[in-house]
Amino acid sequence: DQTALDRFVVGIRPPVIAVTTHCAGRDNGMIVLSGAVGSVIPDAMRMSVNICKSNFTHSLVNQSGVFAMHMLA
């Protein structure tokens, strides 16, 4: 059944997540390669994202200490 398969695939597909930051007058952003829900308590939603240390965005987040996470899908 294609409908059941579509529901299953949507349930296991990871979300598309963008991370943006601002440091020293410079804006930057990227689509993260890995992101997941990090909480089992609905009232305390947490997400986990991984940014490779060699990525420029990682350097800016590390320097500024701030970032925004955007759930795109």
pLDDT averaged over every residue in the chain: 85
Q: For residue range 40-61, what is the model confidence (pLDDT) as tens digits?
A: 787 888 888 889 899 999 999 9
Q: What is the pTM of this model?
A: 0.71
**Per-residue model confidence (pLDDT) at position 30:** 95
User: What sections of 1-73 are H helices per DSSP?
Assistant: 2-12, 56-64
**Per-residue model confidence (pLDDT) at position 20:** 97
Q: Residue 32 pLDDT > 80, yes or no? A: yes
User: What tokens does 33 get?
Assistant: 């390669």
Give residue 10's pLDDT band: very low, low, confident or very high (50, 70, 90): low
